[in-house]
Amino acid sequence: MTTKAPSAVKSADDASLEQTAYASVKDIPVAEPHDRDRLGYNVWRFLTMRKDSLELAVRSAGARMTISEEEAVEKIRAALGKRGVSA
């Protein structure tokens, strides 16, 4: 049996919605990096579907943040605004 090298991963364009969502949560203090990934994913879902509020997306992520949900929502909303995305 042989082991193959992993497939190459191509990063999304910096202007893409995925990069925007994950960049908006990069400064949120969390217990583990995976918490930030879940938070970024939920923000991305919010941006693509627009079914619920940003507050619900942050709460649904279940991320263990060291700041309040309200403060996290404010920071995410500000980061999205800097990229020209309304939340």
Give me the pLDDT at residue 25, please: 95
Give me the pLDDT at residue 8, please: 84
Q: 19-77 pLDDT, tens per residue?
A: 999 999 999 999 998 999 999 999 999 999 988 899 999 999 999 999 999 999 999 99
- Asked whether the beta carbons of 63 and 75 are under 8 A apart, the reply is no
pTM for the whole structure: 0.83
Give me the pLDDT at residue 62, please: 93
Show the DSSP H helices in 1-87 as ranges: 17-24, 33-49, 54-61, 69-82
Give me the pLDDT at residue 1, please: 61
